[in-house]
Amino acid sequence: MTARDYDLVVFGATSFVGQILTRYLSEYLSSGAETLRWAIAGRSESKLKSVRDSLGAAGQSLPIIVADAADEAQLQAMCTRTRVVVSTVGPYALYGEPLVKVCAQSGTDYCDLTGETPWIRKMVEKYEPVAQQSGARIVHCCGFDSVPSDMGVYFLQQQAKQQWDAPATHVKMRIKTLKGGASGGTVASMLNVVQEAVANPALRKELLNPYSLCPKDHGFTARQHYVKSAEFDADYNAWIAPFVMAAINERVVHRSNALADKAYGSQFTYDEAIMTGTGIKGCLSALAVVAGLGAFMLGAVVKPIRIVMERFLLPKPGEGPSPEAQLAGRYDLRFFGRTDDGRTLRVKVTGDRDPGYGSTGKMLGQAAIGLALDYATDDVKVGRPGGFWTPATMFDERFIERLVQHAGLRFELA
């Protein structure tokens, strides 16, 4: 790999999450914590300059690269100048493929925050052989979906290995606390997936397959539990309800197990849900969550309702939680693992910001920095070879250390 001008480029720096990420990187790097050559990129030079100006003195010398998500020539020119690209340009199913293609072709490492399962599968099928040949490491899902889930299971399995020298073959994650808001970009991605699924029976079938992101020769046959209604969880003595991000997180965790040579076991099971409390109140809360998810799905597919939702109820692209709301947000995820012989282990993963934005910006930033600094040395890549990886298979304990020291997360036995 020849020398490149930058270690890292933020593509989509003017988007809602892109601005959060850019500010985080600027503050982190200007503190002298680490040294990194970086730049911001997007299609509008004037908007990029505005983002740079908002950073104050720290942003005065920050380079700008103009590149449109649909212009492969511009993307090629950008990628050949940097070792890593971190992208916030979504919905990725609409705008993300050209950049993944160019990164795979040019040997440029890449990470993003997508949670769009069908698109990820499509990218793997189309470009993994190219990435393997060029040496590009492509890492999707480096935000709230799916870093806490994927790295939480990784951390639990490391603890199980240390204590018992055996994996926890049955793991579940329960959300105890989740406080935060949604941005227009996230809502647009969710609406796009629902609409595509309604129009495509094959896609609906794929979305029900827990192993849809695993390599075709994965060989997994374990029947997975799918939390689709209100249930009582005896292990937590609480009522639970479906968690909307389980659709991506569960599949990423299973892909991690497959890529790690079935390190969690060939009959590994995993599911996610929200804890809603105990007693009648907890049951009613779980039923309310089910009803709310159903109403959203109905609104996504019935055009008149969708128009009303998009116009009056949902955030528009570029909108999202205020800085104050991001600071006030938090989350507490609980993991329960059981070995084949019945031994159990509990772990918790917590975050100190709004999960989708305040925390995601920091997780994504540290993933990108890790790709640039921990898994490469002077343009020589170390660790994983080219290909499509999950957070838990691309990264290791060094990433958890980054998340704890610089991203406000905690991983601990519960």
pLDDT in tens, 201-257: 777 778 789 999 999 999 999 999 999 999 999 999 999 999 989 999 999 999 999
Closest by alpha carbon to 320, among 183, 143, 181, 185? 183
Which amino acid belongs to residue 348? K
Structure tokens at 50: 């505005």
Is pLDDT at 52 greater than 90 in this prediction? yes
DSSP 148: H
pLDDT in tens, 392-414: 999 999 999 999 999 999 999 99
Containing 226, the helix (H) or strand (E) segment is: none
Domain 6-144+357-409 belongs in CATH node 3.40.50.720: yes
R_g over Cα of the chain: 21
Q: Which residue has the higher pLDDT, 319 or 22?
A: 22
**What residues does each domain of the chain span?**
6-144+357-409, 147-354
Cis peptide before 321 (omega within 30 of 0): no
pTM for the whole thing? 0.94
Quote the strand ranges of 140-268, DSSP E: 170-179, 231-233, 238-241
Residues of the chain above pLDDT 70, percent: 94
Q: Which residue has the higher pLDDT, 240 or 381?
A: 240
User: Are the C-beta atoms of 81 and 2 separated by less than 8 Å?
Assistant: no
Structure tokens at 351: 């975050």
Please report, for residues 240, 290, 337, 338, 392, the alpha-carbon distance to residue 235 in angstroms, rounded to integers and kept in the order given.
11, 21, 10, 11, 26
User: What's the confidence (pLDDT) of residue 322?
Assistant: 76
Q: Using CA atoms, how far apart are residues 289 and 364, in angstroms rounded to an integer?
A: 28
Q: What is the sign of the dihedral through the CA atoms of 33, 135, 400 and 326?
A: positive
Q: Using CA atoms, how far apart are residues 122 and 185, in angstroms rounded to an integer?
A: 20
User: What's the confidence (pLDDT) of residue 317?
Assistant: 61
